């Protein structure tokens, strides 16, 4: 009996090769390999599968195959034949959850992020490290998969509001990144009341259970109270709100007096003119500048940094606490310090008219800001004057006031250093800082933009010079040693291409021919967009196109600053990596061999804690933005579309930089479609387009303090 012929045709990854760009082609090629992880393909087979006939496009396939091999996504099994490098279709990566409950997994195993639907998360949560099985069949060009193993939970503690129901309760999480309510049995409430904010720890989560089970580990208090909300933000990101009595007691035991040995083993700079420049409300002054003329009419400029390592001894409870925190956290209404107040604001702080211990870099410079020589040494100083940035700026602008002559000379040197740095390819991404005027109970009564001026740049340039010099001193030596570097990788070219395509809509372009050309064109764009409607969105996208700076023992240089060597040496009161740098540097100066066996893991931890602190700061800003707008429902504001998603578009208000969402469902004059490639939402029939960077008028319709969300609607229906 003859076999019945199947009507099903062989499956191909059909595409039209006309106008096919490299990004899309890369995605399609990865799609083929991910569908059949064990199969091998050459460029001819791929051309056939993708229905590509043009010779130029076929040549591009070969180029993409080489690039995917170089970055480790593919393996060349024999000459001209390739297969997916990730074994048996599995990858390991980190979950990035969005508001819809779906996620993407970011992995080093594959160049494209892998989409994981809500149904296939299998209890995985935001920032969990997971193992994902890649699907053989996927829709469109998107690589899809399913979580098959949770390798490491990002956290098991969540912040939210208790909602009681009879003998049990649920925690309704604050963060949209936690998409499940947490079930709390009666014996797990630990005294928490209905409506209170609390921290809940997940105790178990069976695969068949929709919700995890947890217990209350901390009761924060009533929602809406400023203290409760700030503590909730810290708890959400795993950051402590205060020091334990034991840590405070240990700090208070440290003696203030110096020994004769301290004076004898340090270079004495107490008679050299020295000053600090810091924010008006700062109390932890960790850097000072000294100035004197040399016999050869050059300048001796000292960068003096608080010698925190003198007080913070390795292995002590104080040191363990500082490492656990890794950084000070800056919320809108407070600083949560890395070190107890006894250390941060008194013993280590370079307060005026007090002898202080420092670790210093002393530069000899000429009037062209050329470094003729430098010394790195432990010192003792006595600051003559404390400037706020505003005070120093007034002296610079008017040429009058305390230390006017010295400030003007140092500022001239800083301007030359800055100019040289930018000419060598450094990026100049500077934002006006959004600040809140806080009234009673820390409720915001106003918003203003704080501009960075020459006094800020003065301090910045000399701190950069000190950090670079210390890193070069160790890293560029004939026998380089283990050290802590602050590195910044080159930007992802795909992100740059996306950025280039977006700014072209506004008439801007970037030059990617080499690093210096790229930085100069980027800096020119930042300069040209100043004061224009598209300023914020272009500046933000420019920053997003760059890699994140991190700590590591493996130096690759700092791309954004255009430095071959760079570290963090200048802020040990608020950053633990700087403490590590001080200890290592001093050991090497003394010809000692420190234990560096766990140094890389410490770098990774500090990088992680830094990101947690940044997210906490942003969350506190968002909360205050919502709080500021809660009595302005119904008012109309002008803003710029700052983000576009499948559920609507975000608008940043020009007047106060607050950001909210215009939901797609409120656009009821047409059926609107999300166009990811064109950064817009457009009407199917009326062709009306709402695009990233466009100016719109919106009315505030709702604010939610609990979710830190602001809802807008368009003020005018066009």
pLDDT in tens, 168-224: 999 999 888 888 999 999 999 999 999 999 999 999 988 778 899 999 999 999 998
Kindly report whether the global pTM for this prediction surpasses the value 0.85: no
Q: Does domain 22-84 have CATH number 1.20.1250.20?
A: no
Can you give the pLDDT at residue 517?
A: 83
Between 298-302, 444-448, 533-537, 640-644, the lowest mean confidence (pLDDT) is in 533-537
Checking if the pLDDT of 15 tops 50, the result is no
CATH of domain 87-152: 2.40.50.140
pLDDT mean over 87-92: 71
d(CA 631, CA 445): 11
Determine the 3-state secondary structure of 268 from DSSP: strand
Do the Cβ atoms of 239 and 612 come closer than 8 Å?
yes
Tokens representing 323?
């490492």
Can you give the pLDDT at residue 37?
A: 66
Q: ∠ CA(637), CA(642), CA(646), 5° rounding?
A: 110
Checking if the pLDDT of 55 tops 90, the result is no
Q: ∠ CA(278), CA(282), CA(287), 5° rounding?
A: 45
d(CA 502, CA 537): 10
Q: ∠ CA(361), CA(362), CA(364), 5° rounding?
A: 140
Checking if the pLDDT of 12 tops 60, the result is no
- φ/ψ of residue 156, rounded to 5: -120, 10
Instruction: Provide the H-helix boundaries in 529-643.
Output: 535-544, 576-589, 599-629
pLDDT in tens, 470-527: 999 999 998 889 999 999 988 777 777 778 877 887 888 888 777 788 888 888 887 8
d(CA 468, CA 486): 10
Tokens representing 212?
């995890």
Nearest to 200 by CA among 210, 208, 209, 188: 188
- In this prediction, residue 528 has a pLDDT band, given cuts at 50, 70 and 90, of confident
Can you give the pLDDT at residue 48?
A: 84
- In this prediction, residue 44 has a pLDDT band, given cuts at 50, 70 and 90, of confident
Do the Cβ atoms of 107 and 92 come closer than 8 Å?
yes
Q: Does domain 630-714 have CATH number 3.40.50.300?
A: no
Can you give the pLDDT at residue 4?
A: 34
Nearest to 332 by CA among 435, 418, 231: 435
Determine the 3-state secondary structure of 283 from DSSP: coil
> For the chain, where do the domains classified as CATH 1.10.10.10 start and end?
22-84
Determine the 3-state secondary structure of 245 from DSSP: helix
- In this prediction, residue 464 has a pLDDT band, given cuts at 50, 70 and 90, of very high
pLDDT mean over 632-656: 91
Percent above pLDDT 90 for the chain: 59
Residue 147 carries which DSSP code?
Answer: E
d(CA 218, CA 204): 18
CATH of domain 157-223: 2.40.50.700
User: Which range, 66-70, 106-110, 409-413, has the best average confidence (pLDDT)?
Assistant: 409-413
> For the chain, where do the domains classified as CATH 2.40.50.700 start and end?
157-223
pLDDT mean over 245-259: 94
Checking if the pLDDT of 109 tops 80, the result is no
What is the rounded average pLDDT for all residues in the chain? 88
pLDDT mean over 581-592: 97
Residue that wins the pLDDT comparison between 647 and 390: 390
Can you give the pLDDT at residue 603?
A: 96
Residue that wins the pLDDT comparison between 20 and 672: 672
Checking if the pLDDT of 153 tops 70, the result is yes
Do the Cβ atoms of 586 and 378 come closer than 8 Å?
yes
Checking if the pLDDT of 110 tops 80, the result is no
Can you give the pLDDT at residue 542?
A: 80
> For the chain, where do the domains classified as CATH 2.40.50.140 start and end?
87-152, 630-714
d(CA 708, CA 224): 11
Checking if the pLDDT of 3 tops 50, the result is no
Checking if the pLDDT of 239 tops 90, the result is yes
- In this prediction, residue 6 has a pLDDT band, given cuts at 50, 70 and 90, of very low
Can you give the pLDDT at residue 20?
A: 67
pLDDT in tens, 655-694: 888 999 999 999 988 999 998 777 789 998 988 999 888 8
Q: What is the CA radius of gyration of the chain?
A: 28
Tokens representing 278?
């810091």
- In this prediction, residue 598 has a pLDDT band, given cuts at 50, 70 and 90, of very high
3-state per-residue secondary structure call for 652-708: EECCCCCEEEEEHHHCCCCCEEEECCCCEEEECCCCCEEECCCEEEEEEEEEECCCC
Can you give the pLDDT at residue 630?
A: 93
The order of strands in the sheet holding 371-382 is 267-268, 371-382, 355-365, 299-306, 287-293, 273-278, 385-388
Checking if the pLDDT of 358 tops 90, the result is yes
């Amino acid at each position: 009996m003859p076999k019945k012929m199947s009507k099903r045709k062989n499956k191909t990854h059909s595409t039209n090769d006309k106008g096919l760009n490299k990004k899309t082609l890369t995605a399609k090629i990865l799609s083929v390999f991910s569908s059949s992880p064990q199969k091998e393909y050459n460029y001819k087979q791929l051309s056939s599968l993708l229905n590509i006939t043009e010779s130029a496009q076929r040549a591009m396939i070969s180029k993409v195959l080489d690039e995917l091999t170089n970055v480790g996504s593919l393996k060349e099994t024999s000459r001209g034949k390739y297969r997916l490098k990730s074994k048996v279709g599995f990858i390991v990566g980190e979950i990035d959850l969005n508001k819809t409950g779906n996620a993407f997994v970011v992995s080093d195993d594959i160049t494209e992020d892998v989409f994981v639907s809500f149904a296939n998360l299998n209890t995985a949560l935001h920032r969990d490290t997971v193992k994902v099985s890649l699907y053989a069949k996927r829709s469109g060009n998107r690589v899809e998969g399913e979580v098959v193993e949770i390798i490491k939970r990002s956290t098991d503690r969540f912040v939210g509001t208790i909602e009681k129901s009879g003998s049990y309760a649920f925690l309704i999480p604050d963060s949209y990144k936690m998409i499940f309510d947490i079930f709390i049995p009666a014996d797990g409430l630990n005294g928490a009341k209905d409506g209170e904010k609390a921290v809940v720890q997940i105790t178990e989560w069976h695969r068949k259970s929709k919700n995890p089970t947890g217990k209350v580990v901390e009761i924060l208090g009533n929602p809406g109270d400023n203290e409760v909300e700030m503590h909730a933000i810290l708890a959400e990101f795993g950051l402590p709100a205060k020091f334990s009595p034991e840590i405070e007691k240990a700090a208070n035991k440290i003696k203030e007096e110096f020994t004769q040995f301290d004076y004898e083993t340090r270079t004495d700079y107490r008679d050299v003119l020295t000053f600090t420049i810091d924010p008006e409300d700062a109390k932890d002054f960790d850097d000072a500048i000294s100035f004197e003329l040399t016999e050869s009419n050059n300048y001796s400029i000292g960068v003096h940094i608080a010698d925190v390592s003198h007080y913070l001894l390795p292995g002590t409870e104080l040191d363990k606490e500082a490492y656990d925190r890794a950084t000070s956290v800056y919320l809108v209404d407070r600083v949560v310090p890395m070190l107890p107040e006894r250390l941060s604001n008194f013993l280590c702080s370079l307060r005026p008219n007090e002898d202080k211990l420092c670790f210093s870099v002393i530069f000899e410079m000429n009037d062209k800001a050329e470094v003729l020589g430098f010394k790195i040494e432990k010192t003792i100083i006595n600051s003559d004057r404390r400037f706020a940035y505003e005070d120093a700026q007034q002296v610079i602008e008017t040429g009058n006031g305390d230390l006017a002559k010295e400030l003007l000379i140092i500022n001239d040197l800083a301007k030359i250093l800055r100019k040289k740095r930018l000419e060598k390819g450094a990026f100049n991404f500077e934002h006006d800082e959004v600040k809140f005027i806080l009234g009673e109970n820390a409720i915001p009564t106003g918003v203003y933009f704080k501009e960075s001026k020459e006094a800020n740049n003065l301090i910045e340039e000399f701190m950069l010079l000190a950090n670079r010099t210390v890193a070069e001193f160790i890293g560029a030596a004939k026998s380089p040693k283990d050290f802590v570097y602050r590195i910044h990788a080159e930007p992802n070219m795909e992100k740059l291409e996306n950025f280039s395509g977006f700014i072209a809509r506004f008439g801007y372009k970037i030059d990617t021919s080499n690093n210096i050309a790229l930085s100069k064109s980027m800096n020119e764009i930042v300069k040209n967009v100043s004061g224009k409607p598209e300023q914020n969105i272009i500046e933000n996208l420019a920053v997003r196109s760059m890699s994140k700076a991190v700590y590591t023992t493996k130096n690759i240089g700092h791309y954004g600053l255009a430095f071959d060597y760079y570290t963090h040496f200048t802020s040990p009161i608020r950053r633990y990596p700087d403490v590590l740098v001080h200890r290592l540097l001093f050991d090497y100066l003394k010809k000692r061999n420190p234990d560096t066996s766990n140094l890389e893991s410490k770098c990774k931890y500090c990088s992680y804690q830094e990101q947690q602190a940044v997210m906490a700061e942003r969350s506190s800003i968002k909360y205050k933005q919502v709080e500021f707008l809660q009595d302005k429902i119904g008012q109309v504001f002008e803003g710029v579309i700052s983000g576009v998603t499948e559920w609507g578009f975000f608008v940043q208000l020009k007047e106060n930089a607050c950001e909210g969402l215009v939901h797609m469902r409120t656009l009821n004059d047409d059926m609107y479609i999300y166009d990811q490639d064109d950064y817009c939402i457009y009407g199917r029939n009326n062709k009306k387009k709402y695009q990233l960077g466009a100016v719109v008028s919106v009315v505030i319709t709702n604010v939610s303090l609990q979710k830190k969300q602001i809802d807008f609607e368009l003020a005018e229906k066009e």
